[in-house]
Amino acid sequence: MFDLSLPLVVAVAVTFFVAGVVKGVTGMGLPTVAMGVLGALISPLAAANLLIIPSSVTNIWQLLAGPNVTLLMRRLWPMMLAIVVGTMLGAAWLAEGDTSLTSTALGIILVLYSAYTLLARQLSVSKRLERVLSPLVGVVTGLITGATGVFVIPAVPYLQALRLGKDDLVQALGLSFTVSTFALAAGLAARGVFRAENLALSALAVVPALAGMWFGQVLRGKISPALFRRIFLLGLLLLGLEMTLRPLF
């Protein structure tokens, strides 16, 4: 899918380490950072292939690091099922290989996500609305996941709006990210664009990703998470703008 070279291997390792640091500090952001940076170096389709294994490992770790997995699955299963359906449909866009379209779409998603998270007020969703919104949010999240390889919009702000406890929110994010990752892999495989030859590099990326997560967790105790979050989101906003405007130059 792409020429494997030492500079690319180093870039992948550094990218997943940084993405792991972000996830260690904030509890999310690994696929967003990885797709944002690697999508500027290789095609979004190739980047999505590399994302599968490190994203799966770190998300399962996050999902299982708490006591309420079963309760959250019972509550959120309509959203998770809808994510799978939406991702399987949306993967057709990524599989088509129109890198200009998917890169621009990814840039727009990064801009929307970072701007929303920086500026928006915290929303709240009632139990009655949750029954209606969960499948809709899941489908939209899945379509965006399939098209761009990024699965944060609108799942992350929606889960935050459910007013879950801190530990439950971290687990719910892990559940959503895990389902999205496996659905993306299945969607790419169903269209014959999941490349087995990339699995070795994807597996190797687990090491810097886990190292970054560990370092991020240490860093979390030494700096203000709010400050780190603002810096991270501003950087993401600039990266998204660059990717969105790139076809114009």
- Break the chain into its structural domains and give their ranges: 6-244
pLDDT at residue 44, as a whole number: 75
Average pLDDT, the chain: 82
| Torsion angles phi and psi, residue 43, rounded to 5 | -70, 150
Predicted TM-score (pTM) of the model is 0.78
Cα–Cα distance, 213 to 23 (Å, whole number)? 6
| Torsion angles phi and psi, residue 195, rounded to 5 | -90, 115
List all residues 6 or more positions away from 104 whose beta carbon is below 8 Å from its beta carbon: 243, 244, 246, 247
- CB burial of 180-207 (b: ≥16 within 10 Å; e: otherwise) equals bbbbbbebbeeeebbbeebeebbebbbe
* Whether pLDDT at 243 is above 60: yes
The mean pLDDT of 119-148, rounded to a whole number, is 87
pLDDT at residue 2, as a whole number: 54
Which of 214, 206, 240 is CA-nearest to residue 51? 206
Query: Is there a contact between 146 and 88 (Cβ–Cβ < 8 Å)?
Result: yes
| Torsion angles phi and psi, residue 214, rounded to 5 | -60, -45
160 or 193, greater pLDDT: 160
pLDDT at residue 122, as a whole number: 66
Q: Which pLDDT band holds residue 197 (cuts at 50, 70, 90)?
A: low
Residues in the chain: 249
Please, what is the angle between helix 30-38 and helix 6-26, to 10°? 150
Cα–Cα distance, 186 to 165 (Å, whole number)? 31
Please say whether the dihedral angle defined by the alpha carbons of residues 241, 159, 82 and 136, taken in this order, is positive or negative. Answer: negative
pLDDT by residue (tens digit) across 37-83?
Answer: 887 788 777 888 888 889 889 888 888 877 788 899 999 999 999 99
Which of 3, 44, 8, 45 is CA-nearest to residue 205? 8
Q: How many CB atoms lie within 10 A of CB 6?
A: 7
pLDDT at residue 196, as a whole number: 63
pLDDT at residue 27, as a whole number: 72
pLDDT by residue (tens digit) across 95-133?
Answer: 776 556 766 777 787 788 788 778 866 678 888 899 999
Distances (CA, A) of 143 to 86, 138, 202: 5, 9, 23
Which of 89, 106, 84, 95 is CA-nearest to residue 40? 106
Using alpha carbons only, give the angle 95, 57, 43 rounded to the nearest 5 degrees.
Answer: 25
| DSSP state at residue 148 | H
